[in-house]
């Protein structure tokens, strides 16, 4: 099958959607399919061979974060050339309501279209603005995917219709087989607790974790907090907030995929203190795959990824005191930590790309079949990639 995948967000500063697109493409290529990805990126951004750059993006505030998008006549021309050259059987658009590449590709699509929706929002002004721009083109979408129940609910509330829920994928073996780094490993007296994310983005919750640090250190003075992510201003704010206790927090800066896996393999606990705007929680799956005991805010998306709390501990969103007590309870209870690890190891298999890509391929086949019934042009292919 010839698959075209469009990512609206720039690969210059990759996040969850970009990683999802990249890993899906790799899983489909490994299964024998032909895949091309179109995404914003500057000329000097390292890209996989299967990614075509649509040019530089501009930063735009979106969903409590900063998204890097590209739009306009020149970009539309690049999209058209990519579509014509690809001769795709199916076009897979991510976040087609975001005014970027996916929306441009939807306007021009002449083959069966599958759309994946990632965002989870109670109320989205961005979607309300974008809806009139894409309303007619939405009829081109043959099948919809939502990465979680939260994302599906956002889609239903804002656009109507429905979607099949297929979770984000993770190469779980890359995390379970990772080698720990001794300097990141903890001991009973000096346990290590990790945070991963954009530390200068408030909704990722670093201030919530920082607020819990003094109470944890009061009971476990040797505890170490390893923070991975970029943001110099947030580092300085953290040091000022903690004063004499700032030495317990070690900033690692941005980490590679390999070091992320090694960090999660090394630490005693992984903390996800996000305060909102999360539709899935892929880093929780990565942490569980690596064997790190996960402590997460009780957002709906996190609750589901952690099997309603059976695969990891939960604390009240934004409540630093409750987070500190949850961490202390776990550090004092190795049997409970082992129980979480055991349940997590059994639960993460449903998120492995071997399972997720099969579900996505089934949706592709349904879209192609629907397109054939409606006389939408596409090549005749089978799941194993043969024409």
Residues of the chain with pLDDT > 90: what percent?
72
Q: Within its chain, how far is the Cα of 91 from the centroid?
A: 21
Q: How confident is the model over 65-82, as pLDDT tens digits?
A: 666 678 788 999 999 999
Q: Are residues 343 and 201 in the same domain?
A: yes
Per-residue pLDDT averaged across 79-104, rounded?
Answer: 94
211, part of any domain: yes
Q: Are residues 64 and 121 in the same domain?
A: yes
385, part of any domain: no
Per-residue pLDDT averaged across 154-178, rounded?
Answer: 92
Per-residue pLDDT averaged across 298-321, rounded?
Answer: 96
Sign for the pseudo-dihedral over CA of 240, 242, 247, 249: negative
Query: Which has more confidence, 153 or 273?
Result: 273
Q: How confident is the model over 178-192, as pLDDT tens digits?
A: 999 999 999 999 999
Mode of pairing for the β-strands spanning 192-196 and 269-272: parallel
Q: Are residues 164 and 200 in the same domain?
A: no
282, part of any domain: yes
pLDDT beyond 50 at 144 = yes
119, part of any domain: yes
Q: Are residues 10 and 68 in the same domain?
A: yes
Three-state secondary-structure class, residue 269:
strand
Q: Are residues 79 and 154 in the same domain?
A: yes
Q: Are residues 28 and 157 in the same domain?
A: yes
382, part of any domain: no
80, part of any domain: yes
**Domain limits for position 259:** 172-348
Q: Are residues 274 and 332 in the same domain?
A: yes
Q: What CA–CA distance (Å, rounded) separates 280 from 94?
A: 15
Q: Are residues 138 and 18 in the same domain?
A: yes
Q: How confident is the model over 328-338, as pLDDT tens digits?
A: 999 999 999 99
Per-residue pLDDT averaged across 298-319, rounded?
Answer: 96
At 382, the pLDDT band (50, 70, 90 cuts) reads: very low
Find the range with the poorest average confidence among 126-130, 268-272, 277-281. Answer: 126-130
The 3-state secondary structure of 308-321 reads HHCCCEEECCCCHH
For 109, counting Cβ atoms within 10 Å of its Cβ (0-12 exposed, 13-18 middle, 19+ buried), the class is buried
User: What average pLDDT does the structure give for the chain?
Assistant: 90
CATH number at residue 249: 3.40.50.2000
For residue 324, the model assigns a pLDDT of: 98
At 386, the pLDDT band (50, 70, 90 cuts) reads: very low
The dihedral region occupied by 46, where left means phi > 0, alpha psi between -120 and 50, and beta the remainder, is beta
CB atoms within 10 A of CB 114: 23
Q: Are residues 176 and 276 in the same domain?
A: yes
At 312, the pLDDT band (50, 70, 90 cuts) reads: very high
State the DSSP string of 121-166: -SS-HHHHHHHHHHTTGGGGEEEEEESSHHHHHHHHHHH-S--EE-
Q: Are residues 207 and 243 in the same domain?
A: yes
**Is residue 278 within 8 Å of 302, Cβ to Cβ?**
yes
200, part of any domain: yes
Find the range with the poorest average confidence among 32-46, 57-71, 235-249. Answer: 57-71
Q: How many domains does the chain have?
A: 2
User: What b/e readout covers 12-44, taking b as 16+ CB neighbours within 10 angstroms?
Assistant: bebbbbbbbbbbbbbbbbebebbbbbbbbbeee
pLDDT beyond 90 at 363 = yes
Q: What CA–CA distance (Å, rounded) separates 48 from 7?
A: 14
378, part of any domain: no
pLDDT beyond 90 at 128 = no
Q: Are residues 218 and 339 in the same domain?
A: yes
Q: Are residues 214 and 109 in the same domain?
A: no
For residue 122, the model assigns a pLDDT of: 52
Per-residue pLDDT averaged across 153-157, rounded?
Answer: 87
């Amino acid at each position: 099958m010839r698959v075209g995948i469009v990512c609206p967000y720039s690969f210059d500063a990759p996040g969850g959607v970009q990683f999802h697109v990249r890993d899906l493409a790799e899983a489909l290529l490994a299964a024998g399919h032909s895949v091309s990805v179109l995404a914003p990126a500057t000329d000097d951004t390292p890209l996989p061979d299967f990614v075509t750059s649509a040019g530089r993006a501009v930063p735009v505030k979106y969903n409590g974060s900063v998204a890097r998008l590209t739009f306009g006549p020149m970009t539309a021309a690049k999209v058209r050339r990519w579509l014509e050259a690809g001769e795709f059987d199916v076009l897979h658009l991510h976040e087609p309501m975001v005014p970027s590449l996916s929306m441009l590709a939807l306007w021009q699509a002449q083959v069966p279209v599958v759309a994946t929706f990632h965002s989870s929002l109670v109320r989205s002004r961005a979607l309300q603005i974008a809806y009139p721009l894409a309303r007619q083109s939405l009829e081109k979408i043959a099948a919809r995917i939502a990465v979680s129940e939260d994302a599906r609910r956002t889609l239903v509330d804002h656009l109507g219709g429905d979607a099949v829920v297929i979770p984000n994928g993770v190469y779980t073996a890359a995390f379970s087989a990772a080698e720990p780094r001794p300097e990141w490993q903890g001991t009973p007296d000096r346990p290590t607790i990790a945070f991963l994310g954009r530390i200068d983005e408030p909704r990722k919750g670093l201030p919530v974790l920082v607020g819990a640090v003094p109470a944890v250190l009061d009971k476990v003075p040797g505890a170490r907090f390893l923070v991975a992510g970029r943001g110099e201003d947030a580092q300085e704010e953290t040091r000022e907030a903690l004063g004499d206790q700032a030495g317990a927090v070690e900033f690692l800066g941005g980490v590679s995929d390999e070091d992320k896996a090694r960090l999660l393999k090394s630490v005693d606990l992984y903390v996800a203190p996000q305060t909102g705007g999360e539709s899935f929680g892929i880093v929780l799956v990565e942490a569980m795959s690596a064997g790190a005991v996960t402590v997460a805010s009780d957002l709906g998306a996190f609750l589901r990824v952690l099997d309603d709390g059976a695969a990891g501990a939960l604390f009240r969103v934004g409540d630093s005191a409750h987070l500190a007590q949850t961490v202390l309870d776990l550090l004092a209870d190795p049997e409970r930590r082992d129980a979480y690890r055991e349940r997590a190891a059994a639960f993460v298999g449903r998120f492995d790309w071997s399972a997720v890509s099969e579900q996505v391929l089934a949706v592709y086949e349904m879209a192609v079949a629907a397109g054939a019934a409606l006389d939408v042009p596409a090549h005749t292919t089978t799941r194993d990639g043969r024409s």
